[in-house]
Structure 1
Amino acid sequence: MNSVTADDSAWIRTSPFFRHATDVGYTLTLIRGWTPDEVLRAAGAEPRGRGEGTDGLIDAENAHRDATDDLWDASFIAGAFSAAGEDGDWTLVLGYDGGLGIGDACVEALSAGGRVVVHSTNGGKPIDLFQWYEDGALRTVFEWASHRDGDTPDALLPLLREVGFPLTPEGEHDDNAPDVDGKAAVLALAERLTGIRLTEALLGEATYALGLVPDSPPGCGTN
């Protein structure tokens, strides 16, 4: 049984890569049953070759920004790679996108018959979101673990408490429980649902399939 907790993700607070991700805003999407190229095509992304590690992904995003005159353009470079997890291979999609991601409608479609887990930060404020999709439905979403929404907002409550969120058995904030690093707890929760441990080495050394996700994605090409 996977017993990972927030303590296992403490590396994020000393990681230059993760600091950059939270400063500029990021989305990390984990999708079961689709290849990286299939996910990028579904998101309407224009192929942009390959990037080595997060440095290659950052370089590609910076080059795209340098070539974009419109400050309001929400297009971004997404990087995708495959990793073995629970019940088969998963595709991990990372974008320094200000927390936009590849679009809720597309993520929902990609979860049909499977599972998708997303966590993000929009940078600045920040707004930190966690989303769990199962078989085409948004099962649980939250910014604060004590304020959950979705079709089954309490389905993850036992896991939330196990990874370290300070919650009562009823799912309310527990003032008597120890404080927790919320982002580290989210990474632990993602691992519990996917079987994939997110580490600096995994993200930093992967070869990413790169794609330019458009400002206004044309739906989701999963058919």
Structure 2
Amino acid sequence: MTSATAADYGWIRSSSSLFGYALDAGYTLTLVRGVSPDELLDVVEAEARGVCEGFDELTEQHMAVLDAYEDWPESFLAGAFTVRGEGGDWTLALEFGGDVGTRPRFMEALSAGTRAVSHSSNGGKPMHFFHWYENGELRTTFELPKARTGSTPDELNAVMSEVGLNPAGDQAPDVDGKAAVFALAERLTGVRVTEALLAEAEYRTGEVAEEPAEEWESITIDLTDAHGEGTYVQLRRDQL
């Protein structure tokens, strides 16, 4: 296991850092051991889009996918490449505004017989997630380090503390939580993500369809009167 800490990932906040775009637009970064980029794109049902030479070209192709839709985009671009890590080759997949690394069915399939780790941000809103899967099982996941779930929610507590996260309470104000999550991912994968790595990689790309909206039959509205008495109204789809 590496000795990475949040200090090793201070570059993501640099004013000149290319990762600033990912933080602004929202991103998901996924690492899977022993699965090739083409295999990963196949598992996530991506439509092949060829190769992007470097981070700048990946962002350009991402914008081209968005521009193809008049209203809300129905898909997003995922780029993947091979990188060395603990135990052999890993695939690093990166998306802007995508959610490959947060969809359980994808992560369960990708991690079958191996390990998969992802972290993400939805851009403007302060929502940041971390997921660790092992052999198809979600072992530890959190938005806030102190609110962990999964089959082994406390297994990473010691490592989380070492990288700068606080599994017992509020995050220390002098530690960049996002940088610490990068370090936690490195501890689990052996993959050191650097600005040069992302800038110079050859990304195999594919277009991934957005998840369809869930069907719903009714909504429930809670009501409270002036005396504090509560009731509710349930409305069917055909009543709205």
Return the TM-score normalized by structure 2. Answer: 0.83
Partner of 1:208: 203
Amino acid at match of 1:199: T
Distance in 1, matches of 2:144 and 2:119, equals 12
The superposition leaves residues 83-121 of structure 1 with CA deviations (integer Å, 9 ceiling, x where unpaired) of 010011000000002x52252211111101110000000
Kept in 2, the 8 Å contact 1:132–1:139? The answer is: yes
Partner of 2:3: 3
% identical aligned pairs: 55
Amino acid at match of 1:101: V
Query: Residue 38 of structure 2: SS of its match in structure 1?
Result: helix
Offset, 1:146: 1.1
> Runs of 4+ in structure 1 displaced over 3 angstroms?
none
The superposition leaves residues 6-61 of structure 1 with CA deviations (integer Å, 9 ceiling, x where unpaired) of 10111111043211101110000001111000110111101101001111110111
Offset, 1:216: 3.7
Distance in 2, matches of 1:180 and 1:74, equals 36
Partner of 1:20: 21
Partner of 1:192: 187
Amino acid at match of 1:189: L
Partner of 2:162: 162
Amino acid at match of 1:59: E
Relative to its length, the structure with more strand (as a share) is 2
Query: Residue 126 of structure 2: SS of its match in structure 1?
Result: coil
Partner of 2:177: 182
Amino acid at match of 1:202: L
- Structure 2 unaligned segments of length 5 or more: list them: 213-240
Partner of 2:106: 106
Amino acid at match of 2:2: N
Offset, 1:153: 0.4
Equivalenced residue count is 210
Q: Does 1:152 align with 2:146?
A: no
Which of the pair has more CA radius of gyration?
A: 2
Distance in 1, matches of 2:205 and 2:170, equals 42
Distance in 2, matches of 1:173 and 1:179, equals 14
Amino acid at match of 1:76: F
Aligned mate of 2:169, from 142, 167, 173? 173
The superposition leaves residues 152-210 of structure 1 with CA deviations (integer Å, 9 ceiling, x where unpaired) of 00000010011111x3xxx41168x6631000000000000000001000111100001
Partner of 2:219: none
Kept in 2, the 8 Å contact 1:100–1:122? The answer is: no
